[in-house]
Chains A and B, each alone.
Chain A
Amino acid sequence: MEVKEMTCIRCPMGCRLTVTKDGDNYTVTGNTCKRGEEYGIQEMSCPMRVVTTSVRVIGGVRPVCSCKTADSVPKAAIDDVLKALAQLRPVAPITIGQVLAEDIAGTGVSLVATANNRAAN
């Protein structure tokens, strides 16, 4: 049995949740609504995050370009995603929404640019 305390972030109430994992069964206490229960179970079973960061760019007006994972990735994979994208060197021009890498760090999720970076003349 595993017990974890956490703050629900689904709304400004910020309920203090206690989530208990017993085999495949999850119990959430401290929540004041259904969304709190969902949050507690998700955070206990497989917390997911969108990674928003930046990559070095070759030949752009700015040396870096901001980017994000197109979907959320497991929290445990964030480190691998950051290490993988540190190796990337996309070439300007880059436009918002452009895919910079597909299946970043084996997550099945692509990395997309979130800003424009014009080519430097």
Chain B
Amino acid sequence: MKKFVDIAVIGGGPAGLAAALEAWRAQPELNILIIERDHEPGGILQQCIHNGFGLHFFGEELTGPEYAGRFIAEVKKTSIEIMTDTMVLELNNERKILAVSAENGLIEIEAKAVVLAMGCRERTRGALNIPGSRPAGVYTAGCAQRLVNMEGYMPGKKVVILGSGDIGLIMARRMTWEGAKVEVVAELMPFSSGLNRNIVQCLVDNNIPLKFNHTVVRVDGRERVEAVTIAEVDPATKRPIPGTEETYECDTLLLSVGLIPENELTNGAGVEMDRITSGAVVDETRQTSIPGVFACGNVLHVHDLVDNVSNEAKLAGLSAAQYVAGGEKKVEKYHSVNATNGVRYAVPQRISADASGKLDVYFRVGNAYRPAKLVVRCGEEVLATRRKAIMTPGEMEKITLDADKITGDITLEMEA
């Protein structure tokens, strides 16, 4: 099967849906295709049945499936085509896509523009080098979330959780409410990357202890997990301190230890990558180093709020539509956006010299700052300053710049 489309959006989660919708709104005559590997669109939102989504974007609190449902309903009113159960295998630097599905076999798709919206996946046990045997019962938190919330399976009855990211915290409450006993949440760092709200409403509400500076040092069991041993670590070296081991009898270990943007396709196409975000390097239109290829959402950098994903995806979708309608516009010169002195990364990583109007730069800090002061400079000139009572690594921040004032490379840094 061979297809020719104006815009191919890879991934039908929140980023892909918002990008396709915005492209269609800008140019309704365009032929837009969303390629999704699951049975239905919506992505990971479909398994995030807790609430807290949409406060910024819709002005109300929704659960994940409800948030996705709003976008799916809008997309269904348009001419946008969604291919589900279809896995993209390859993307090349001429925007040719190779995909496969049970229904259509191999599918070749040629697109005038491509939006990368593949999201991210979880770090697994393999990335952590946890000693011990290899029994059943070790899951990533997101895998357990899908099993409980969508497939109707309980992965276990007595649970230890490693990592206090939001998915781990949410799953601690979820497993408890479904009748399991969550013994403890161990966190390697001296702080949680999860939201305060989740620590309070998922752990404190259910009397689940959270142990900072702790990690898993052993997993026991032949066929199935029988016990998990955690130990305190030296905060400086992260090495376990002998004599601090505690063993919990349990049948399940959940891992909530970070997310990795899923960029195999991006790498295969030869797109320039950012080593810090593990996503593509993009300009203010979210265009990557390959003309006509755009990226947005968690595949570009891991977001904490889906509302921000939707906004970023709208920008990428609009840019893709303008690219198709206006043809390739050669960018003569880029100014780079440098993150330094406490700022871990900034997106976009570069801004075209002819950019104009208001322009949002998203960034994360590397440590907790209270109070926090961010300064953006172009050479000696201060372009913008942002003060806040607190900035933490867990919360993505945004600063709005006037693109007309950017005359050279810019720098984002924290100041006392």
Assess whether B25 is interfacial by the CB under 8 Å rule: no
Whether A54 touches B149, Cβ cut-off 8 Å, given contacts A6-B200, A66-B49, A115-B46, is yes
A31 is an interface residue with CB less than 8 A from chain B: no
B126 CB–A CB distance under 8 Å: no
CB contact under 8 A between A114 and B196, given known A50-B51, A54-B149: no
Q: A49 and B152: CB pair below 8 A?
A: no
Is A18 part of the binding interface, using a Cβ–Cβ cutoff of 8 Å? no
Most chain A CB atoms below 10 A, which of B66, B201, B204, B389: B66
Q: In the complex, are the beta carbons of B50 and A52 less than 8 A apart? A: yes
Task: Choose among A7, A52, A75 the residue that contacts B63 (Cβ–Cβ < 8 A).
Answer: A52
Closest partner residue, chain A, to B70 (CB atom): A96
CB under 8 Å from chain B, chain A span 63-95: 63-64, 66, 68, 75, 78, 82
Binds B, one of A8-16, A20-28, A100-108: A8-16
Q: CB-nearest residue of chain A relative to B176?
A: A82
* Docked complex: B176-199 residues within 8 A CB-CB of A: 177-178, 195-197, 199
The closest CB in chain B to the CB of A32 belongs to B389
Contact of B149 among A12, A14, A66 (CB under 8 A): A66
- B389 and A62: CB pair below 8 A? no
In the complex, residue of chain B having the shortest beta-carbon distance to the beta carbon of A56: B152
Closest partner residue, chain A, to B392 (CB atom): A12
User: Which of A56, A63, A114 is close to B66, meaning CB atoms less than 8 Å apart?
Assistant: A114
Chain B, interface SS category: helix
- Which chain B residues in 18-68 approach chain A with CB under 8 Å? 46, 49-51, 61, 63, 65-66
Task: Kindly identify which residue among B65, B201, B205, B389 contacts A115, using a CB–CB cutoff of 8 Å.
Answer: B65
Known A12-B196, A115-B69; judge A68-B51 contact (CB<8 A): yes
A7 in contact with B69 given A52-B51, A66-B63, A75-B205 (CB within 8 Å): no
Say whether A110 faces chain B, with CB atoms less than 8 Å apart: no
B201 and A49 within 8 A (CB): yes
Contacts of B178 in A (CB 8 A): 53
Contact with A along B96-116 (1 / 0, CB 8 A): 000000000000000000000
Q: Does any Cβ of A come within 8 Å of B390's Cβ?
A: yes
Count how many chain A residues have C-beta atoms less than 8 Å from C-beta atoms of the other chain. 27
Inter-subunit contact B150/A62 (CB<8 Å): yes
Q: Report the separation of the CA atoms of residues A54 and B63 in the bound assembly, to the nearest whole angstrom.
A: 12
| B395 proximal to A (CB < 8 A) | yes
**CB atoms of B197 and A9 under 8 A apart:** yes
- Are A7 and B46 in touch, CB under 8 angstroms? no
Q: In this assembly, does B151 line the interface, its C-beta being within 8 Å of a C-beta of chain A?
A: yes
CB of A16, distance to nearest CB on chain B (Å) = 11
Assuming the contacts A9-B200, A49-B201, A68-B63, asked whether A114 and B152 have C-beta atoms less than 8 A apart, the reply is no
Closest chain B residue, CB of each to CB of A50: B51
A114 touches B151 (CB 8 A): no
Query: What sequence of 0s and 1s flags, for each residue 26-63 of chain A, a beta carbon within 8 Å of any chain B beta carbon?
Result: 00000010000000000000000111111010000011
Are the CB atoms of A13 and B46 closer together than 8 Å?
no
Chain A residues closer than 8 Å to B65, beta-carbon distance: 66, 96, 114-116
A-chain residues with CB within 8 Å of residue B148 when the two chains form the complex: 54
Closest A residue, CB atoms, query B65: A115
**Out of B51, B196, B370, B389, which one reaches A7, CB within 8 Å?**
B196
Residue of A nearest to B39 (CB): A61
Chain A residues near B51 (CB, 8 Å)? 50, 52, 68
Q: Which residues on B sit within 8 Å (CB–CB) of A52?
A: 49-51, 63
A69 (CB) vs chain B CBs: closest residue = B51
Flag if B392 contacts A64 (CB, 8 Å): no
Q: Nearest Cβ distance between residue B62 and chain A, in whole angstroms?
A: 8
Chain B residue at smallest Cβ distance from A75:
B205
- The answer to whether A64 and B152 have CB atoms under 8 Å apart is yes
Closest chain A residue to B174, Cβ basis = A53
A14–B174 Cα distance when bound, in Å, is 23
Q: Which of chain A's residues has its CB closest to B198's CB?
A: A9
Residues of A within 8 A of B200 (CB): 6-7, 9
CB nearest neighbor in A for B45? A115
> Is the Cβ of A9 less than 8 Å from the Cβ of B152?
no
Residue-wise interface mask of B (73-87) relative to A, using a CB-CB cutoff of 8 A (1 in contact, 0 not)? 000000000000000
Nearest CB in chain B: distance from A76 CB, A: 11
Contact A82 B177 (CB under 8 A): yes
**Contact status B196-A9, CB under 8 Å:** yes
Offer 17 A-B interface pairs, CB within 8 angstroms, sorted by A.
A6-B200, A7-B200, A9-B197, A12-B195, A12-B390, A13-B370, A14-B196, A50-B51, A50-B61, A56-B152, A63-B151, A63-B152, A64-B149, A115-B46, A115-B49, A115-B65, A115-B66
The 8 closest A-B pairs by CB, nearest first: A63-B152, A66-B49, A115-B65, A64-B152, A9-B197, A14-B196, A114-B63, A52-B50
Interface, chain B (partner A; CB < 8 A):
46, 49-51, 61, 63, 65-66, 69, 148-152, 174, 177-178, 195-197, 199-201, 204-205, 370, 389-390, 392, 395
Extra inter-chain contacts (16) besides given A7-B199, A115-B69, CB under 8 Å:
A9-B196, A12-B195, A12-B390, A12-B395, A13-B370, A13-B390, A14-B196, A32-B389, A56-B152, A63-B152, A66-B149, A78-B177, A96-B65, A96-B69, A114-B49, A116-B69
